[in-house]
Structure 1
Amino acid sequence: MPYLLNTWYVAALSSEVTANAPLARTLLDEPVVLYRTAGGQAVALADRCPHRFAPLSRGRLVDGALECPYHGLRFGADGRCVFNPHGNTNGNGNGNGTASPPARAQARHYPVRERYGAVWFWPGDPERAAHTPLPAFDYLEPHENFTTERYLHTRANYQLSADNLLDLSHFQYLHPETLGSEQMASGVVRATVAGDSVSVRREMKGEYLRPMLTQSFNLLYGERADRELDVHWMPPGLLTIVVRISESGLPETAREAKSAHWLTPETAVSSHYFFAFGLPRAMGEHGAELVSRTAQSLLAPFRDEDIPMLEAQQRMMGERDFWSLRPVMLPIDAGAVHARRIMERLITHEAQGGTERVSTAEHAS
């Protein structure tokens, strides 16, 4: 399937990429290998040796270079072969030591940046990557915030996950014992578009929240609460969700939590789902404990309820195009439809040779 190429995607969490062993990951239908140099720099190369196409991720790291497991060629952080153990042969076919690497022995090198607890990669034109800043997720800057990150694999198209996050009315039905309430689906919803970004706000008044939320936001269980959910989406699948909860009728008691949700296609029918949380360090140790506890408590509904539903949807769809199935649309789908249309426009424009830069850096959250 076509993807938007000239933009930043999350390839892995920083904690997943080490100097001890390479990490294999399929990104946008391409096999990629990630690792760190001896100096700690994150590297992303095509996971395919240019000699006989062996997966480099099965190799080992030697002096900061990635060694092919098949014939021992080693590749540096820029993808160039830096060591060839096979010397020129004599008439009898016997080797006589190492030789200069062949000029064409180079694995594709992807531009990489590391920030917000994640390793980001650029699958498009490398020259454009140099002039395109990363999208802004300031609430995940570790110097000012306690942060934590998680990863889940999903056997569903990445845009189904974006649909899911842009319409949180499903909380009432898919997460009735954790994130939902009886008032969820009847909340006031407004979707807006600004340039290439989409925002969806949902407001509920007088909710009876479940213990998981009341404990996280330090509210008395059984007391009514007012809740606002703001979801901000930008290409290619980067979201911030802001949750504000206050005691009913007392906005001065509002407490706020922000989370990042980064969706990266694996294939047309599978994706990588990264999510992260941040709270100001000014909160002290309570903030550090709350960030970790919130991430862990949300992992269960994401893993045990959202992902099984998304994967069931994908099985029903097979590999057919979403629009070809003629989905019935409800008012709650406005944000998801806007995001899909923006992605379709950007992908088509890029495929037709559009040259303007896709930048998401201005959408700081």
Structure 2
Amino acid sequence: MSFLRNCWYIAGWADEFVEGSMMARTFLSEPVVIFRDSKGALQGLQDRCPHRFVPLHLGRLQNDQIQCAYHGLKFDCTGACVHNPHGNGTIPRAARVRSYPMQERHGFAWIWMGEPHRADPSLICDFSPLDPEFFYVGKSYLHVMANYALETDNILDLSHIEFLHESSLGSNGVAQGSTEVVQDGETVYSKRSTSDEQLTPDLERLRGVPAGQRVDRWLDVRWNAPAVMLLETGLTPAGQPRSAGRAVHVAHVFTPETDATTHYWFGIAFPRALGEEGERLAKENIDWLSHPFTKEDMPMLEAQQATIGDKDFWSLKPVLLPSDAAAVRVRRTLDEMIKREQAESETPEQ
């Protein structure tokens, strides 16, 4: 499978990376080692020594340099070899590894897997509704044995919560809710609204809804390439306008590890203005959400991936339902972006 390369991918929660330690992760089938330098900035290097191809994360991080554990070559933050302890110390011209531009924003670590000179920080998607400066954020992570596009489909078509999550997130009115798909440039919105809905007891408790009260609910998802999504989920007493209700924001962000495995970070935010109550809600909600995501979504998607195998999704001629509109729009948008990027890379420079 081809990946979109000239875009910002999530590399993890920013607070996963602490000064003095290295973390190895694979993105787009490329091994990367990530660390914070002595100034606190995130650095990403190809996790493969060019000498005998040993993973650099097995080595030692010191003075913003990684020393390979096998033969002692040292590499700086640019990926250049700066020390050769052998012979007369001459550094071979090819002794360097790729460096990846990285940024830290809104509580996430972002990595650019494409051409470094095109890494424009202004292209990073807005996740300010989860910025830890203003919100308590409940955070979690799953390593899923499925293609990242299947994960995207899952979030863009939330009609499935009526069936897959009937005792937790769903109700018997979700699939019949009204839906709208809106595209603004290369950003796609999937908006689902339900009316006069009866929530599950757990959702009533977590959202502060009196037992048995009927509600109108909205589930609005914003998608940006390649697979970063922000969900606004809100509710109001049945028949009341949105302004009478309240909403929370949930991040669903996916980075392909390989063609068939995915990094999945998700989080939910509550304002710091709520004090200890906001902190409690963030922890309680993420602990609760982790169950349906881990025990219901993940097994379903992994079974789906096992069935599809290495076949092209469209070659299987999937039957399409009205609820697939947003996912189909996103797949076609992403396919076009990848196709355009590949065409540009094949065009010789003038």
TM value normalised by structure 1: 0.90
- Could you say which residue in structure 2 is the equivalent of 1:60? 60
User: Which residue is equivalent to 2:87?
Assistant: 87
- Cα distance in 1, alignment partners of residues 198 and 9 from structure 2: 38
Structure 1 unmatched ranges of 5 or more: 89-98, 356-365
The code of the aligned residue for 2:254 comes to: L
Report the residue type matching 2:292 in the other structure. P
1:161 aligns with 2:151: yes
Structural RMSD (CA): 1.6
Matched, 1:108 2:79: no
> 2:202 matched to 1:228?
no
* More displaced stretch, 297-306 vs 249-258: 249-258
1:338 aligns with 2:329: yes
Deviations, residues 136-168 of structure 1 (Å, cap 9, x unaligned): 111122222222322111111100000000000
Distance 1:340 1:285, change over 3 A: same
What is the match of residue 150 of structure 1? 140
Describe how 1:194-273 pairs up with structure 2 within 5 A.
194-251=184-241, 253-273=244-264
Match of 1:361 in 2: none
For residues 71 and 37 of structure 1, the distance between their equivalents in structure 2, rounded to whole angstroms, comes to: 23
CA–CA distance in 1 between the matches of 2:211 and 2:82? Answer: 63
Secondary structure class of the residue paired with 2:344: coil
Deviations 1:212-246 (A, max 9, x none): 21112111122211111111111111111111111
Q: Is the 8 Å Cα contact of residues 138 and 285 (structure 2) preserved in structure 1?
A: no
1:32 maps to 32
Deviation, 1:269, is: 0.7
Distance 2:266 2:230 in 1: 9
Residue of structure 1 aligned with 2:298, choices 284, 304, 307: 307
Q: Verify: 1:15 aligned to 2:4, yes or no.
A: no
Separation in structure 2 between the aligned mates of residue 142 and residue 273 of structure 1, nearest angstrom = 19
Q: Distance in 2 between matches of 1:295 and 1:278?
A: 9
SS in 2 for 1:198: strand
Size of the aligned set, in residue pairs, is: 345
User: How far off its partner does 1:84 sit?
Assistant: 1.8
**Which segment drifts farther, 196-205 or 128-137?**
128-137
Identify the residue that residue 359 of structure 1 maps to in structure 2.
Answer: none
Contact 1:22–1:57, Cα closer than 8 Å, also in 2: yes
CA distance in 2, matches of 1:3, 1:133: 18
Q: 1:138: which partner in 2?
A: 128
Distance of 2:274 and 2:21 partners within structure 1:
37
Query: Could you tell me how far apart the structure 1 residues matched to 2:134 and 2:62 are?
Result: 36
Q: Is the 8 A contact 2:251 2:268 kept in 1?
A: yes
Preserved CA contact (<8 Å) 1:59 1:67: yes
**d(CA) in 2 for partners of 1:165, 1:105:** 43
Cα drift, residue 72 of structure 1: 1.2
What amino acid is the match of 1:149? K
Distance 2:295 2:260 in 1: 19
The partner residue of 1:323 within 284, 304, 314 is 314
Q: Identify which range, 316-325 or 103-112, moves more after superposition.
A: 103-112
Which whole-Å CA distance do the structure 2 matches of 1:220 and 1:253 have between them?
15
Structure 1 residues 130 and 334, CA gap change in structure 2 (3 angstroms) = closer
Q: What's the % identity of the aligned pairs?
A: 43
Note the C-alpha offset of 1:329.
0.3
Alignment CA distance shift 1:131-1:138 (3 Å): closer
1:354 Cα deviation after fit: 6.8
Q: Equivalents in 1 of 2:116, 2:292: separation in Å?
A: 38
* 52 and 191 in structure 1: CA distance in 2 versus 1, 3 angstrom threshold: same
| Runs of 4 or more above 4 Å deviation | none
**How far apart in 2 are the matches of 1:321 and 1:288?**
43
Preserved CA contact (<8 Å) 2:103 2:121 = no
Structure-2 separation of matches of 1:178 and 1:314: 24
Q: Aligned residue for 1:48?
A: 48
* Superposed displacement of residue 132, structure 1: 4.3
- Cα distance between partner residues in 2 of 1:114 and 1:149: 16
Unaligned ranges ≥5, structure 2: none
Q: What pairs up with 1:348-359 in 2 under 5 angstroms?
A: 348-353=339-344
d(CA) in 1 for partners of 2:228, 2:156: 11
- What is the rounded CA distance, in whole Å, between the counterparts of 2:183 and 2:324 in structure 1? 14
8 Å Cα contact 1:117-1:149 kept in structure 2: no
Q: Distance in 2 between matches of 1:284 and 1:247?
A: 26
Check conservation: 1:240, 1:260, Cα contact below 8 A.
Answer: yes
CA–CA separation in structure 2 for the residues paired with 1:308 and 1:324: 23
